[in-house]
Chains A and B, each alone.
Chain A
Amino acid sequence: MSRLRELQSRIAAMSLGRLDPETLAGDVLDDRPIPAAQRLRIYRNNTQLGLVDPLAATFPVVLQLVGEEFFLRMAGDFVRAHPPQRPELLAYGQEFPGFIGDYEAATSVPYLADVARLELAWNFAYNAPDREPLSPRALTAFALEELETLRLVPHPTLRFVASNWPVMAIWQAHQSEDGPDQAIDLDAGGDMLLVYRPRQETLIRKVGAGAFAFIMSLSARQTLAAAFTSALAGESDFNVSAELSALLAAEIFAEAIPS
């Protein structure tokens, strides 16, 4: 290993809090009033705050829910445990919801991890490639017998979020800096959400168990007939024609592929 690389390895470890700055003090000039180790700590601080910042940008509702001080501690712990592997901060924090779920000090906010999952899905859709959605009238081009074996492809920006908590209401209530103006009923039941961006706006659509299973099945490239069977398993009175036209009107699909 070269001298430079060895030095950089140790500085990286120091910056991520895995090596005491004192052990690097001999590698830098120590001729200034402020001791070298103290100055090295500035890099450690910059690195860790520099990685917390993009998490604060991706998870603003989590931040609002726990407050800045707690967020800084939790996100700091995450940053040290899961530093990004690549210079790609727009998608940094994929493991953050799971980390929050296991975070001892956050157990008093049981819905926090699911709110983080919703924010991650929102962030994905926000930055995903633009794609013209399928026209709500597209299915009129097919004969009735073709529909059964048709493959309706959901929009590529789509992500699924399922939670036992009313995360959509929690998310919506925290879309302004001031926080919620009314109490949220945490016993309101869970949410099954489709998060996607058919055009400019990123959308969150709450659906029933049937529609959720239906779209999941279509995402796995199943035919309409197979997806309908999955939907019935999730919701026995699933009304396929009403649900399908609502989903088409919501521009949730990108393509219709006949078999």
Chain B
Amino acid sequence: MPSGMPPFSASAGIGLKAQHMSAILEGRPALGFLEIHAENYMGDGGAPHRWLSALAEHYPLSVHGVGLSLGSDQPLDIEHLDKLARVVERYRPRLVSEHLAWSVMDGHYLNDLLPIPYDEESLGVVASHVDQVQEHLGRTILVENPAVYVAFDSSLAEPQFLAELVGRTGCGLLLDVNNIYVSHRNVGLETAGYLDALPRGAVGEIHLAGHHVRTIGNAEIRIDDHGSPVCAEVWDLYRQAVARFGAVPALIERDSDIPPLEELLKEVETANRIRREEEARHVPAA
């Protein structure tokens, strides 16, 4: 680690939103890190970079990509990969992550995170893309489990697919516990045994977010909109994840209906409290 880089504390962090930038710079709340969407900083210059450079002097950063489309069965967009590499080079983040999903096909970018079937064919595609990204960036990345509204006839369960991906590429995982819960409710993803199926050392970050419950006919579907506070069931999954994976960096994600910074800081505090409680429970007193 270059000297002068802000320390990476165990405290949870938040996704950085333009609305909060000056409040964070002025108040310097205790946050473990700030996470940015890589694509928002792929412009060449101007205010976004000026703000982020100022914030990077005080907080460790995590770069979260949304546009690489690791799951597309077509070559990665090298220009985009280069731009991601430039953002990573410029800000030297502690963590770099992307999604187990796809968003590019037939010359169109869909700006959505679409699901893939969990089988050998998909595994081959995603593993070769992760290899390529890690080689290009010269570092490992974390791959995030998706929130889905449909599932395919798959030969592998989601956590087995992720464990296999870790084994083949050496990548880490960004465990989104809200996504696990959303997929559980929407397509019956099995939550029992999910965490245990993931290799213990692989989880490098945890995402926490809220979702929206929409009713279609007489049935509910949960939309992963990051637009509300984290729900009780997801906090419970977080507690289980800390018990299994230890104190990995956790992030409060809010991408729509952005509240005042204070509200997110309360959720950061909740995450920190749960982490401390679990640590006290699992670390035997000296």
Contact = CB atoms under 8 A, between A and B. Distances in A.
A43 B223 CA distance: 10
A188 interface: no
A66 to B, nearest CB: 22
B117 interface: yes
8 contacts: A2-B73, A29-B150, A33-B217, A33-B219, A42-B221, A47-B111, A84-B109, A130-B49
A8 B72 contact: yes
B216 A85 contact: no
Interface of B: 39-40, 42-50, 66-69, 72-74, 77, 79-80, 102-112, 114, 116-117, 121-122, 125, 149-153, 186-188, 216-219, 221, 223
Given A16-B108, A29-B151, 20 more contacts: A3-B121, A5-B73, A7-B117, A11-B114, A28-B151, A29-B153, A32-B187, A34-B219, A42-B149, A43-B114, A43-B149, A47-B110, A47-B111, A87-B77, A87-B80, A127-B48, A128-B45, A129-B44, A129-B45, A130-B44
A36 interface: yes
B80 A15 contact: no
Interface residues of A, number: 47
Given A42-B223, A83-B109, A4 B149 contact: no
Interface in A17-51: 27-29, 31-34, 36, 38-40, 42-43, 46-47, 50-51
A89 B79 CA distance: 14
Contact of B111 (A31, A39, A89, A130): A89
Given A43-B114, A88-B42, A28 B73 contact: no
Given A126-B46, A127-B46, A128-B45, A4 B73 contact: yes
A130 to B, nearest CB: 4
A15 B116 CA distance: 15
B103 A36 contact: no
> Which of B67, B110, B114, B152 has the most C-beta atoms of chain A within 10 angstroms of its own C-beta?
B110
A87 B46 contact: no
> Which of A3, A31, A46, A87 has the most C-beta atoms of chain B within 10 angstroms of its own C-beta?
A87
Nearest to A29: B151
A90 B108 CA distance: 15
A197 B103 CA distance: 33
B152 A27 contact: yes
A87 B66 CA distance: 9
A12 B116 contact: no
